[in-house]
C-alpha cells in the first residue's frame, strides 16, 4: 500500500522494477532491415531480368545487358520506402513528456517516465502530461483528455478518479498512484493497436503488378519457343538465338514503368512539401485522389481547437457595465481553461478596479469571481451553480440563448463579499455570454470543394453530438443535421449510411466506423490529431494528421499538414490526380511496347524467321520512344477527374498501338522480301519503322497538344537519327540504301495513319459502351 504522504521508498521502487512492474516501453518488433532487403530483392521479376542479363553476357555483348540498370533502381526504391515505413513505426510513441515527478522517501524527485513503478506517488501540476494511468489520492485538478477521448472540455478529477496516460493537466494540483503501466496503460494499448506496417493499398500499383504478373506468365513459354525456333527451325547459332530471344523478351517487360511511377510520386511528394504537406507514404497521394468518403474530426479540422465569444445578452446592466466588469475579472483572474481563454480574448484590456478576494475557477464549483473595492463581487460561470434555486427564473432564456450548440456562461453580481468561499448572498444575474468553437476560416471552402467532387463527409468526434452538428452546419457540411450520440449505440458501424455526424465516439468506435465504410466498398480518408484518432487513422485508406496534434497521430498518418491547415487538402487531391492520370498516359506507352513485342514474338515463331532486333536496338527505342517522353509527360499539369479503371484505360490505348506496330512491321517484312533485303538490312528497316510508329504513338499521347510537346518529339526524333548516323555500328545497323529508305518512309507513313485511325475507333467504341452503361444505370 502506497503512503500518500511519503510515497514509496527507493528500495521498494527497485524491488518493484526488478519484478517487472515498471513503466518501461511497450515496443512491438517489426520486420528487420535484412528481411525487407530479402523480400524486395528475391522476386520473380528481378530473377527473370537477371537471368536475361546473364544470358546476354554469356552469349552476346555487354552493351546488350544495359537494361538491367532499371531493375537495380526499382529494387532500391522499394527497399528505401519499406525501411522508411519500418523506422516510422519503430519510433511510434504516444508520450511526449520525457520525465515525471514522483514522491519517494517523502521527497519529490524527477525521474524518467520509463522508471515509474507500480504504486509510485506521482505529482501532477498544470502543464504536465500523464505517462501512466494513475488514480488520484489527494488534491484536485482539471485534465484535458481531448487527445485521448476526443472530449474537448476539461475533466474535473478528484480523489478516486483516474488520470489516463497521454492526458494533460490544465489546472490544479494533485497526487496520484500509478496503477496502469507500460503495455497496460491506456495510451500504450492504443499504440499496440496501431503498431503494424500497413500494406500499401494503391490501385495503380496493384494494376501495374497485375500486368507484370500476366506478362511473366507468358514470357517463359515464348522464350522456349523462340529459342527452339531460332536454333532448330531457323538454323541460327546458339549465340544469335539467345541474344534475339532476350531482345524479344525485354521488349515485353515494361521494366521502367515501376520506376517511372515511383519517380512521379516522389516528385509529387516534393511539390507537396513545398506547400507545407509532409508525405510519409508516396502512394497515399494516389489514394487521397480516389477517396469517396472523408471522415473528419471537429477539433483541429473544422474548428481551430479554441473558443470565442459570439454574443452577449444583458439582464440588468448596461453594455458599459458588462465590459467594465468582465475586463476587471480578466485582469484579476488567471485561469487557463478554454472558456476563460475565449472570454479573456474578448475582454483582454486592463482595468483600474482594485481586486480584493479572488476565487479562481474550480471544476467542483463551476464558477470563478472576484470582489472589488467599492464595486461588490462579480462572478461568472454556470448559472445553476451560481444562482442555485433562483436559476429557474432565467433557465428558459438561457436554453433559448444556447440554441445552436453554444455554451452559455452567466455574469452575476452581489454587493456582498464571498462567505467561506461560497457565492455571496444577494447574487443577481447581469448578463448571458454565448461562447462557441472557432471555425477555421478555410473550412467552408474546403468542405465545398469536396462536396463538388462527390466526396461524402462524415464528422466523427468525441464531443457532444448536438454541438458537433451545429458547428458542422455552420461550416457547411451537407446533412450535418443528421447526428447521433454514439454512446447510446451498440453497433455504430450499422449506422454509417444513415448519419453524417457521430458524437461521443470512443476510439474503438472510430475504428469500427472506418472499417464499416471500407466494407461497403468505399475508399476512406481520415483526418485527426489526437490519440483517440490513432486506430482509425491507421485503418483508413488515407490518413491525414495535423502538425499541431499528437505525435502518435502524426506517426501513423500517411500525410501530415505541417501548417495544420485543412485548406491544403485540395492541393493533395489535385497532385494525386496529376500523378494517376499522367502515369496512366505513360503506362499506355510502356504497354504498347509490351503488346507489339508479344505479338512480334508470336509472329516470328509462326513465320519461322529469326527475331529482327538486338537487345541494344530495343534499348534505344525504349529510351527515346518510351522512357524519356513518358517521364516528361508524367510531370505535366493534369487536373482531370479520374475516370474508369487503370488497367482498362491503359489496355484500351495499348492494344491498337501494338496492333498497328505489328501490322506495319509485317508490311515492312513483305516489302523486304520483294526487294531481297539481307537480314541486316531488314533489321535496320524494321528498327526505323518501329521507331517511326512509336513516335506517332508518343504524339497521340501528347493530347492536348502543346508547343513544348511538339518540340520534345522533334528532339527525340533528332536524337534517334543522330544515334543511327554516328553510332550505327554500336546499334547493329547498316547504311540505308534508296530502296530501304523508300520502304521505310512509305510503311511508316501508312503505319502512322493506321495508328491514328485505330485509336480514334477505339475511343469511339469505349465512349459508346460507357454511355450505354450510364443509361442502363439510370
Which are the catalytic amino acids?
Answer: 297
Beta bridge partners of 308: 436
Measured CA to CA in angstroms, residue 467 lies from 381, 473, 748 at distances of 19, 10, 69
Measured CA to CA in angstroms, residue 146 lies from 255, 309, 363, 627 at distances of 49, 21, 17, 51
Exposure string for 232-242, b = 16+ CB within 10 A, e = fewer: eebebeeebbb
Backbone dihedral angles phi then psi of residue 109, each to the nearest 5 degrees: -130, 150
Q: Report which secondary-structure segment, H or E, holds 401.
A: helix 395-401
130 touches 113 (CB < 8 A): no
Smallest CA-to-CA distance from 612 within 524, 696, 521, 681 is with 681
In 461-528, the DSSP E strands lie at 483-485, 501-503, 524-528
Going across the sheet that includes 559-561, the strands are 277-279, 559-561, 542-546, 524-528, 293-296, 456-460, 501-503, 483-485
Query: Whole-angstrom Cα distance, residue 696 to residue 748?
Result: 9
Taken in order 743, 744, 745, 750, is the CA torsion positive or negative?
Answer: positive
Query: Whole-angstrom Cα distance, residue 732 to residue 691?
Result: 15
Query: Whole-angstrom Cα distance, residue 24 to residue 15?
Result: 15
Query: Whole-angstrom Cα distance, residue 761 to residue 223?
Result: 33
Burial tier of 212 (Cβ tally within 10 Å: 0-12, 13-18, 19+)? buried
Query: Whole-angstrom Cα distance, residue 449 to residue 445?
Result: 6
Query: Whole-angstrom Cα distance, residue 64 to residue 68?
Result: 9
Query: Whole-angstrom Cα distance, residue 158 to residue 156?
Result: 7
Query: Whole-angstrom Cα distance, residue 666 to residue 609?
Result: 12
Omega of the bond prior to 77 within 30 degrees of 0, cis? no
531 touches 187 (CB < 8 A): yes
**Helix, strand, coil content of the chain in percent (nearest 5):** 55, 20, 30
Smallest CA-to-CA distance from 596 within 480, 754, 711, 456 is with 754
Measured over all CA atoms, what is the biggest interatomic distance in the chain, rounded to whole angstroms? 119
Task: Write out the DSSP string of 95-142.
Answer: ----EEEEEETTEEEEEEGGG-BTT-EEEEETT-B-SSEEEEEEEEEE
Backbone dihedral angles phi then psi of residue 159, each to the nearest 5 degrees: -50, 130
Amino acid at each position: 500500500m502506497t503512503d500518500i504522504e511519503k510515497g514509496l521508498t527507493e528500495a521498494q521502487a527497485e524491488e518493484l522494477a526488478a519484478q517487472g512492474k515498471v513503466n518501461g516501453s511497450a515496443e512491438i518488433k517489426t520486420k528487420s532491415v535484412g528481411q525487407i532487403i530479402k523480400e524486395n530483392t528475391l522476386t520473380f521479376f528481378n530473377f527473370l531480368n537477371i537471368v536475361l542479363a546473364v544470358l546476354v553476357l554469356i552469349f552476346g555483348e555487354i552493351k546488350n545487358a544495359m537494361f538491367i540498370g532499371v531493375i537495380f533502381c526499382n529494387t532500391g526504391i522499394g527497399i528505401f520506402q519499406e525501411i522508411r515505413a519500418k523506422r516510422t513505426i519503430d519510433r511510434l510513441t504516444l508520450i511526449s513528456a520525457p520525465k515525471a515527478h514522483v514522491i519517494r522517501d517523502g521527497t519529490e524527485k524527477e525521474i524518467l517516465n520509463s522508471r515509474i513503478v507500480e504504486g509510485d506517488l506521482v505529482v501532477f501540476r498544470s502543464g504536465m502530461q500523464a505517462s501512466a494511468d494513475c488514480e488520484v489520492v489527494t488534491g484536485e485538478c482539471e485534465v484535458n483528455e481531448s487527445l485521448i477521448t476526443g472530449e474537448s472540455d476539461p475533466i474535473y478529477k478528484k480523489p478516486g478518479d483516474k488520470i489516463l496516460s497521454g492526458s494533460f493537466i490544465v489546472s490544479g494540483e494533485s497526487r496520484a498512484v500509478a496503477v496502469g503501466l507500460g503495455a497496460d496503460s491506456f495510451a500504450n494499448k492504443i499504440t499496440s493497436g496501431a503498431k503494424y506496417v500497413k500494406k500499401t493499398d494503391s490501385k495503380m500499383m496493384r494494376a501495374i503488378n497485375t500486368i507484370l504478373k500476366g506478362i511473366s506468365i507468358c514470357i517463359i513459354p515464348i522464350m522456349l519457343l523462340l529459342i527452339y525456333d531460332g536454333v532448330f527451325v531457323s538454323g541460327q547459332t546458339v549465340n544469335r538465338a539467345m541474344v534475339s530471344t532476350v531482345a524479344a523478351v525485354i521488349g515485353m517487360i515494361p521494366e521502367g514503368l515501376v520506376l517511372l511511377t515511383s519517380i512521379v510520386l516522389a516528385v509529387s511528394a516534393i511539390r507537396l512539401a513545398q506547400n507545407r504537406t509532409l508525405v510519409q507514404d508516396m502512394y497515399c497521394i494516389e489514394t487521397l485522389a480516389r477517396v469517396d468518403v472523408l471522415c473528419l474530426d471537429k477539433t483541429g479540422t473544422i474548428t481551430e481547437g479554441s473558443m470565442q465569444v459570439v454574443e452577449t445578452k444583458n439582464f440588468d446592466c448596461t453594455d458599459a457595465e458588462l465590459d467594465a466588469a468582465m475586463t476587471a475579472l480578466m485582469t484579476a483572474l488567471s485561469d487557463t481553461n478554454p472558456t476563460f481563454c475565449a472570454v479573456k480574448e474578448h475582454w483582454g484590456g486592463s482595468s483600474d478596479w482594485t481586486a480584493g478576494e479572488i476565487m479562481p475557477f474550480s471544476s467542483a464549483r463551476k464558477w470563478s469571481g472576484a470582489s472589488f473595492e467599492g464595486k461588490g463581487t462579480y462572478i461568472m460561470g454556470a448559472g445553476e451553480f451560481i444562482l442555485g434555486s433562483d436559476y429557474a427564473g432565467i433557465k428558459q432564456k438561457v436554453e433559448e440563448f444556447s440554441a445552436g450548440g453554444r455554451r452559455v456562461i452567466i455574469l452575476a453580481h452581489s454587493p456582498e463579499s464571498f462567505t467561506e468561499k461560497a457565492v455571496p448572498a444577494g447574487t443577481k444575474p447581469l448578463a448571458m455570454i454565448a461562447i462557441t468553437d472557432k471555425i477555421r476560416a478555410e473550412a467552408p471552402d474546403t468542405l465545398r470543394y469536396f462536396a463538388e467532387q462527390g466526396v461524402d463527409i462524415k464528422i466523427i468526434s468525441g464531443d457532444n453530438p448536438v454541438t458537433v452538428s451545429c458547428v458542422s452546419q455552420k461550416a457547411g457540411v451537407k446533412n450535418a443535421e443528421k447526428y447521433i450520440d454514439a454512446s447510446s449505440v451498440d453497433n455504430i458501424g450499422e449506422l454509417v449510411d444513415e448519419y453524417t455526424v457521430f458524437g461521443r465516439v470512443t476510439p474503438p468506435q472510430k475504428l469500427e466506423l472506418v472499417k464499416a465504410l471500407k466494407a461497403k466498398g468505399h475508399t476512406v480518408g481520415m483526418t485527426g490529431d489526437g490519440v483517440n484518432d490513432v486506430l482509425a487513422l491507421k485503418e483508413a485508406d488515407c490518413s491525414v494528421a495535423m502538425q499541431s496534434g499528437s505525435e502518435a497521430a502524426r506517426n501513423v498518418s500517411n500525410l501530415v499538414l505541417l501548417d495544420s491547415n485543412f485548406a491544403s487538402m485540395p492541393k493533395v487531391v489535385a497532385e494525386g490526380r496529376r500523378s494517376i492520370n499522367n502515369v496512366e498516359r505513360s503506362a499506355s506507352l510502356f504497354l504498347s511496347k509490351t503488346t507489339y513485342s508479344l505479338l512480334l514474338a508470336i509472329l516470328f515463331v509462326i513465320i519461322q524467321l529469326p527475331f529482327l532486333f538486338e537487345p541494344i536496338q530495343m534499348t534505344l527505342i525504349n529510351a527515346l520512344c518510351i522512357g524519356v517522353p513518358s517521364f516528361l509527360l508524367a510531370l505535366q499539369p493534369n487536373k482531370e477527374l479520374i475516370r474508369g479503371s487503370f488497367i482498362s484505360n491503359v489496355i484500351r490505348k495499348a492494344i491498337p498501338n501494338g496492333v498497328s506496330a505489328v501490322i506495319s512491321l509485317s508490311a515492312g517484312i513483305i516489302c523486304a522480301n520483294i526487294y531481297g533485303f539481307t537480314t541486316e538490312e531488314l533489321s535496320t528497316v524494321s528498327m526505323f519503322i518501329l521507331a517511326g510508329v512509336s513516335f506517332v504513338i508518343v504524339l497521340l499521347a501528347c493530347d492536348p497538344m502543346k508547343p513544348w510537346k511538339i518540340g520534345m518529339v522533334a528532339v527525340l526524333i533528332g536524337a534517334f537519327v543522330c544515334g543511327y548516323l554516328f553510332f550505327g555500328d554500336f546499334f547493329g545497323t547498316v547504311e540505308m540504301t534508296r530502296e530501304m529508305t523508300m520502304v521505310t518512309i512509305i510503311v511508316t507513313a501508312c503505319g502512322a495513319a493506321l495508328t491514328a485511325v485505330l485509336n480514334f475507333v477505339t475511343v469511339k467504341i469505349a465512349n459508346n459502351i460507357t454511355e450505354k452503361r450510364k443509361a442502363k444505370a439510370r
